[in-house]
Structure 1
Amino acid sequence: MTRAVVFAYHDVGVRCLSVLLDAGVEVALVVTHTDAPGETIWFDSVAQVAARYDIPAVTPDDPNTPEFVETIRALAPDFLFSFYYRQMLKAPLLALPRRGALNMHGSLLPQYRGRVPVNWAIIHGERETGATLHYMTVKPDAGHIVDQQAVPILGDDTAADVFRKVTCAAEITLHRALPGLIAGTAHATPQDLSQGGYFGARRAEHGRIDWSQSASTIHNLIRAVAPPYPGAYTTVQGMPLRILRSRVVGDHPAARASPTLYCDQDACHVLCGGGGTLRILELELDDEAIRPADFYQRYGAGPFPL
């Protein structure tokens, strides 16, 4: 029987762990994370899946300590898998599995290596992303590719919409590749790293809107950081305004010196500095969800400079 140690978290972790179990892989240990205090937990629990199948699960602060490496060595795994585990696995761990260490990454490598690839792909206006199964090396997301599956990014998709597709793509990719990995017949292709870029983590403050940009660029930011992520934000009338969903209703190139918000009884719109018009579909003003019609009733039509 094929034996694996699985490092996993989030929905991709749940679905890919499920693929291994369905295929009869012996999962000797699941390594996951304790949910961070204050984080919005909108995804399924790897620990709960492990408990359902009576698989030991641990949550080490640092999986790369010599003591934990020896714990994994004693299990003598054929494979080590990482499915959306949030820490880098270093060389001593990667050297342990007899038949290789593999990671599932949420992009079409070599594009969007690094952190939060779904969010970055939307910010850059990509119309396609996917999931890639690849061998792990010390350099992140740089190992040979075993398989990948593309999914579309529609023009109004949020990051949560796309992440659900990527989760499905990850499950399909692993399900398709796993028989070859177990049989030892899987083919792996080197990456051309010159064709992609590496991207870092994002923080809540990166959601501040620059209204001098075009409507399409701002729309991409809004949908890339929409809930359950922290959201895109600005200020209006001296109050914090968080924009949760938008739609481009005019993207002509004419720039405007003064980006402006205006409302009527039906909708709020922004004339963007870089050209184009955004319709604001969902918003929060001063941490209170408010409909565009209510904004109009409280504050009038504007215009409100941004």
Structure 2
Amino acid sequence: MSRRRTLNIPSAVSSDQEDEDVFGGDYEPGQYALSTHGATGAGGSVVAELTGADLSTPLSVAQLPTPYDVAETVTAPLTEHERGHLAVCEQALHGFRKSVVVAGKALEVISRGRLYRETHGTFVEYLDDVWEIRKSQAYRMIEAWPVAAAGSPIGDINEGQARELRPVLQTYGQEAAVALYREVKELRGDRRVTAADLAEARAVLPPPTQLARPDQVRDVLTVAAAEGRAPRLAPPAPQVPAQASGEHQADEAGRGDVGQEKEMDEGAEAIAVLEAALAQQRQIYDQVGGGVLAAALLYDSGRGEHLRHQLRQYANRTAYRMRGASEGQEASNA
């Protein structure tokens, strides 16, 4: 007998607009209101025991049962606990609001535990008859939810974002994937993080052999944004209020010699700063020669790699600032 329900699964197509519309209204990420519909009977009597909450309270991803495997040869009816697991998972899906975390975990519990076996022959038949979603999309959500849960405890990562984080998890490990998501979120500031932002961040990561520690992801992304290799992560250009030409001319005339003297003082001070920086740079260059790096790597390879990475990062940042100043001067002279 059909138990078809409505479940608005987000599209698998990744786009900025889709990400912008992922959350709305009064939705609290990571929480799903349980209704009493479909969760009563034998399963409903153990829901409080399984989740630590009754059916009227919000359900978090941590309250869903841990996925477990049931062999295909098992044909026995569901046990009381299995009925409770099915009730909890279906209520999580029934209250699903475009979060891959809760829906993906619920689907995995139902699939691996074969909790559909009393009413449907296969998981695919269950998906089609009860939830009207495709097998491919269900399995994408199952694969994505652990990444989303690791990246954000409150579950505010959608399917498209989790899809971009999954290769990072597989190649660099969970800590690096979490660090990448959180750093992108910090760099974006008040702007919403999209799947495209995460894809750009993932593209600038060095090979795994060059990333000695997961926390180096922060420096990599910061430098990439500063150098223009990750423009989506760069801070927005400050809005400078336009000044009327008449006011500007009057202001310039009023400054006169005082303004020129100030500019000369600032310029002389800037030259002194650059000369001091150059002297320090030469000193650093002399200090890191003569086998210092090789000895450091031999003594503590992890710490040595980290320090080498930091030195290169700050050298790149200095080069970027010098290049930016030079380009700005050329543009002003043009």
TM-score (norm. length: structure 2): 0.28
TM-score (norm. length: structure 1): 0.29
Structure with higher Rg: it is 2
Larger relative contact order, structure 1 or 2 (CA cutoff 8 Å, min sep 6): 2
